[in-house]
Structure 1
Amino acid sequence: MKYVLGIDLGTSAVKVLLVNQEGEIEQEVSKSYPLIHEKSGYSEQNPEEWVNKTLEALKELTESFDGDIDKIEGVSFAGQMHGLVLLDSNQDIIRNAILWNDTRTTKQCQHIYDELGEKKLLAITKNPALEGFTLPKLLWVKENEAENFSKAATFLLPKDYLRFRLTGKIHSEFSDAAGTLLLDVAEQTWSNEMCETFGITKDMCPELVHSGDFVGNLSEETAQVTGLSSSTKVFAGGADNACGAIGSGVLSEGKTMCSIGTSGVVLSYEPSADLDFEGKVHYFNHGKADAFYTMGVTLAAGHSLNWFKDTFAAEESFESLMEGTEEIPIGANGLLFTPYISGERTPHADANVRGSFIGMDSSHTKKDFVRAVMEGITFSLNDSIEIFRENGKTVKSIVSIGGGAKNKAWLQIQADIFNAQIIRLSSEQGPGMGAAMLAAYGSDIFASLDECAQTFLSEKDTFDPIPKNVEKYQNLYQLYRQVYQQTHELSRSLGEFR
């Protein structure tokens, strides 16, 4: 039996999957690490936490593995997108990593538009200038931490830094590089115009490879610490959403995925870079070579539910918190929630808007609030689906992964709000499974990712939309869409009190 490892470097934890050649998860180890919030809107992490926790997870996994270590043939990575890791000429970390959910860079985003113009930016990068992306972070450091910027020899994305520390090799790959605003997405190369316009030397940009490319072996030091073999092959991996697409079988035209993790994502496969969504959704390189995907993002999807639990039900488990929500009627007895607690990305690229509960009265119970949060998150994701449909895409079935796929009531809510069949896979690992599939494909266990998907992935169950529920939700969705228009200026004005 052959094995591969999929390492998913998330925002709150790293998860390592050991998967056999039949697609069965033999072991799973997760290690958490903290976020650093020095100020409102700031979100950072110490990259050494990623390395140390990954090494701990790998060591724990090998110590309990009763098979032949040499049969673990390959390892690959999925990782949180957009984060900025700066290295000096000695390849040492200069400062904490600035993460995808950091919103300090509104001024730098405007500077990008002022210098380049929205039309040219979209033509090159296929994406608007948003606070979460990497180039605005580079410009913020350049403007606010000139000494740190002057030391910078290379920038890396989070999972690329982790891979560097395990192999000693520095690379970036297309699916993650697409989220920097420095990549020419269609041409699959670092953009000379973007770099020259904003004073980023090409030397700072790492060598680009494809997600399935072999990039080296585990270093002797990594092997010694973890118990793995130094002959284990390492493959580049992909952005978490690109790997989520692979791990959900979104590998051909017509396939769509919904992922509800810390953030929420609706992602659809694209065979080319030819479509024009006018920047309303993201357009990134896929982890499958020479393919692409469009994607809408809810910044605080699962995070909204985590926030509610931590604030109002800290002693409860998620299972207890969500128990009985299926008995709460559609509309949570007249309570509506908007999940803008970290700002929003799709369709409102607005770092200043904040969330709200609308319609509270003294009859509402905690279960009403939980149901409203679940519905509000799903309405936000539906905004992206509506953009896809308005631009001619057909969305009839959606693979659901992440936290939103663990609860049957929530899966039915998705089916009814999206008006589409929801598919739950036997494995809900998404990005980690996608990383494992890249390792299996790279190790020549399979001839293609599509062939790998046929072995690794299978449907567990499906949830069909209920017509009467669809009609109710369509009416409620129209009310939901009004909330942003009525509250975004209030949120901006309240900012001075935060």
Structure 2
Amino acid sequence: MSLYLGIDIGTFESKGVLVDGSGEIVATAAHQHKMLVPQPGWAEHDAEADWWGDFKRLTQSLLAQSNADPKSIKAIGASAIGPCMLPVDKAGNPLMNGVLYGVDTRAAEEIRALTAEYGEAVLLSETGNALTSQSVGPKIQWLKNKRPELYAKADKFITSTTFIVHRLTGKHVIDHYSAGSWQPLYSPAEEKWSPRFAKGICSQDKLADVMWTTEIAGEVTAKAAAETGLAAGTPVIAGTIDAAAEAVSVGVLAPGQMMLMYGSTIFIILVTAARGQDARLWYAPWLFPGQHASMSGLATSGTLTHWFRDQFSHEFTDAKQGAIALAQEAALSPPGAKGLVALPYFSGERTPIHDPDAKGMIFGLNLTHTRGDVYRSLLEGIGHGTRHVMETYANAGQQVSHIEAVGGGTNNDVWLQATSDIGGFAQAVRAKTMGASYGDAFLAALGVGAVKASDINEWNKAARNVAPNPAVKPLYDRQHATFRALYERNRDLMRSV
């Protein structure tokens, strides 16, 4: 039997899967870890323990569960949270914790300085993106400014997937989609690193080699084989960011198709026929030559539900039980959560407002409200944030023909339905919703020519459709106006806290 291994390293949990040549799942595994928040606005992972450590644990677990001969694994695909910034030494060892994606807002000063130096219009035209907390270039600049001794020791600046692939193969590579988030260091027009805006940030020899996602980066080394149980010589693809692998897992391949990922953050990918250019959204080349992607994301989504569960459901010792109980309580609260409107900006906000100083808010509380009402208001607040993003796509002239929902949040019916009701759009849900690791396995099979791209629709078939309820549209339209006004009227106050 030919098998394909997919491993994804997430914000709070890593997942792995072994699948056969027809996409049937042979074994699955998961392992939880913590997001480190050493101070407000910072978000980190221990790369050794959380990235490579989880990869080893999951691989060993999958091999043990399946009793598979490691030589039956024909290709390996990995994805991870991103874009991240990790300085490593010449041996590839981390010099500090990995700095996470847009939820880490430490480089706000560097973003302002670089934008002032080059001009937002120039950056947008040349790199496809304005500089935001999602951009890696300013975070390297932050390291140079604030931790010059570590900056000087760095042989490479890499992202999470690059770190894993290097541990497997000894090669430093990054896919074009991930490199597209390393603004202002990557040129989408030239599809390569560009020195145009790199002055003062870092030289190109400090960056990984750019490849397409399904290109073979290398083979599992003898050292990596000894650590993981994999067979030396197994092909490893370049891999990608978790959200992109998740989009592939549910068949988002053609222009107009969109993935709406319910994870630690809401992350959205729209495949487009042409390169987009809007400062409120993000742009990157898609996973395959000649295709493009327009992305967006909220800063806190699953992270916010985890926070609420941890702080306000102490009677449940099991996290999963607590999540189920809170979802049941939220289901007892009516649409609109008895008048509550929440801003989900508990870690600033990414698209479309790009405001690291934005703050969370629960508006309209009175003594009749229950825990279920408050929890529902947070789910609906995420839904209003998602609608704000969808309105931005429409304003930017980017057409959406089909939406695929994926991720752990699709198991929360209240959240899923409220998002459709608030936004006024339907969502399709596939039979397999485990997400990025499944997409990684498919991309690995694609990389060695075992499948073609359209085969994902046979691997993972459509299961159900979530349609908006027109009866609650007037209520949610009123609340959405309140949602937008709460931020606009309190933005200056948020910056003073």
* Normalised-by-shorter TM-score class: over 0.9
Matches within 5 A, 1:175-194: 175-181=177-183, 182-194=185-197
Give deviations 1:385-412, integer Å, cap 9, x for gaps.
1111223334354111112211222222
CA shift at 1:272, angstroms?
A: 2.4
Q: Is the contact made by 1:396 and 1:421 (CA closer than 8 Å) also made in structure 2?
A: no
2:288 is aligned with 1:283: no
2:45 is aligned with 1:45: yes
Matches within 5 A, 1:245-394: 245-273=247-275, 275-277=276-278, 279-316=279-316, 317-394=322-399
Residues of 2 paired with 1:394 and 1:123: CA distance? 21
CA shift at 1:221, angstroms?
A: 1.8
Q: Is the contact made by 2:177 and 2:285 (CA closer than 8 Å) also made in structure 1?
A: yes
Structure 2: gaps (5+ residues)? 317-321
Identify the residue that residue 12 of structure 1 maps to in structure 2: 12
Q: 2:446 aligns with which of 420, 441, 444?
A: 441
Residues of 2 paired with 1:106 and 1:268: CA distance? 27
Q: Is the contact made by 1:337 and 1:356 (CA closer than 8 Å) also made in structure 2?
A: yes
Q: Is the alpha carbon distance of 1:324 and 1:13 closer, same or farther for their aligned partners in structure 2, counting shifts above 3 Å? A: closer
Identical pairs, percent: 27
Residues of 1 paired with 2:399 and 2:135: CA distance? 29
Matches within 5 A, 1:55-74: 55-74=56-75
CA shift at 1:349, angstroms?
A: 0.8
CA shift at 1:307, angstroms?
A: 0.9
Q: 1:471 aligns with which of 462, 471, 474?
A: 474
Q: Is the alpha carbon distance of 1:260 and 1:227 closer, same or farther for their aligned partners in structure 2, counting shifts above 3 Å? A: same
CA shift at 1:325, angstroms?
A: 2.5
Across the aligned residues of Structure 1 and Structure 2, the Cα RMSD in angstroms comes to 1.5
Higher mean alpha-carbon deviation, 431-440 vs 82-91, is at 82-91
Residues of 1 paired with 2:78 and 2:214: CA distance? 10
Residues of 1 paired with 2:402 and 2:254: CA distance? 13
Q: Is the contact made by 1:254 and 1:268 (CA closer than 8 Å) also made in structure 2?
A: yes
Residues of 2 paired with 1:327 and 1:187: CA distance? 54
CA shift at 1:367, angstroms?
A: 0.8
Q: Is the contact made by 1:28 and 1:61 (CA closer than 8 Å) also made in structure 2?
A: yes
Opposite residue 177 of structure 2, the aligned amino acid is: S
Residues of 1 paired with 2:127 and 2:314: CA distance? 42
Identify the residue that residue 149 of structure 2 maps to in structure 1: 147
Residues of 1 paired with 2:474 and 2:461: CA distance? 31
Identify the residue that residue 205 of structure 2 maps to in structure 1: 203
Opposite residue 318 of structure 1, the aligned amino acid is: A
Residues of 1 paired with 2:2 and 2:315: CA distance? 42
Residues of 1 paired with 2:163 and 2:246: CA distance? 20
Opposite residue 197 of structure 2, the aligned amino acid is: M
Is the partner of 1:192 in helix, strand or coil?
coil
Is the partner of 2:465 in helix, strand or coil?
strand
Give deviations 1:100-135, integer Å, cap 9, x for gaps.
122111110011112111011111221111123211
Q: 2:426 aligns with which of 405, 421, 427?
A: 421
Q: Is the contact made by 1:395 and 1:420 (CA closer than 8 Å) also made in structure 2?
A: no
Residues of 2 paired with 1:344 and 1:395: CA distance? 23
Opposite residue 58 of structure 2, the aligned amino acid is: A
Residues of 1 paired with 2:227 and 2:209: CA distance? 27
Give deviations 1:65-108, integer Å, cap 9, x for gaps.
23333221111111111211112234332222111122111110
Identify the residue that residue 216 of structure 2 maps to in structure 1: 214
Residues of 2 paired with 1:396 and 1:36: CA distance? 38
Matches within 5 A, 1:91-106: 91-100=92-101, 101-106=103-108
Opposite residue 82 of structure 1, the aligned amino acid is: P
Identify the residue that residue 34 of structure 1 maps to in structure 2: 34
Residues of 1 paired with 2:30 and 2:223: CA distance? 22
Opposite residue 483 of structure 1, the aligned amino acid is: L
CA shift at 1:327, angstroms?
A: 3.5
Identify the residue that residue 319 of structure 2 maps to in structure 1: none
Matches within 5 A, 1:127-166: 127-166=129-168
Q: Is the alpha carbon distance of 1:186 and 1:456 closer, same or farther for their aligned partners in structure 2, counting shifts above 3 Å? A: farther
Is the partner of 1:351 in helix, strand or coil?
coil
Residues of 2 paired with 1:29 and 1:397: CA distance? 30
Q: Is the contact made by 1:105 and 1:140 (CA closer than 8 Å) also made in structure 2?
A: yes
Q: Is the contact made by 1:414 and 1:422 (CA closer than 8 Å) also made in structure 2?
A: no
Is the partner of 1:333 in helix, strand or coil?
helix
CA shift at 1:244, angstroms?
A: 1.8
Residues of 2 paired with 1:218 and 1:366: CA distance? 50
2:486 is aligned with 1:483: yes
Opposite residue 328 of structure 1, the aligned amino acid is: S
Q: Is the alpha carbon distance of 1:64 and 1:333 closer, same or farther for their aligned partners in structure 2, counting shifts above 3 Å? A: same
Is the partner of 1:267 in helix, strand or coil?
strand
Identify the residue that residue 21 of structure 2 maps to in structure 1: 21
Normalising by structure 2, report the TM-score. Answer: 0.95
Q: Is the contact made by 2:140 and 2:201 (CA closer than 8 Å) also made in structure 1?
A: no
Give deviations 1:317-351, integer Å, cap 9, x for gaps.
21111014333222100111110000001111111
2:400 is aligned with 1:402: no
Q: Is the alpha carbon distance of 1:26 and 1:220 closer, same or farther for their aligned partners in structure 2, counting shifts above 3 Å? A: same
Opposite residue 187 of structure 2, the aligned amino acid is: D
Q: Is the contact made by 1:124 and 1:191 (CA closer than 8 Å) also made in structure 2?
A: no
Residues of 2 paired with 1:212 and 1:126: CA distance? 23
Higher mean alpha-carbon deviation, 311-320 vs 234-243, is at 311-320
Q: Is the contact made by 1:8 and 1:78 (CA closer than 8 Å) also made in structure 2?
A: yes
Is the partner of 2:14 in helix, strand or coil?
strand
Structure 1: gaps (5+ residues)? none
Normalising by structure 1, report the TM-score. Answer: 0.95
Is the partner of 2:64 in helix, strand or coil?
helix
Opposite residue 311 of structure 2, the aligned amino acid is: T
CA shift at 1:162, angstroms?
A: 1.1
Identify the residue that residue 77 of structure 2 maps to in structure 1: 76
CA shift at 1:225, angstroms?
A: 2.6
CA shift at 1:165, angstroms?
A: 0.7
Q: Is the contact made by 2:124 and 2:277 (CA closer than 8 Å) also made in structure 1?
A: no
Detail structure 1 runs of 4+ shifted over 6 Å in the superposition: none
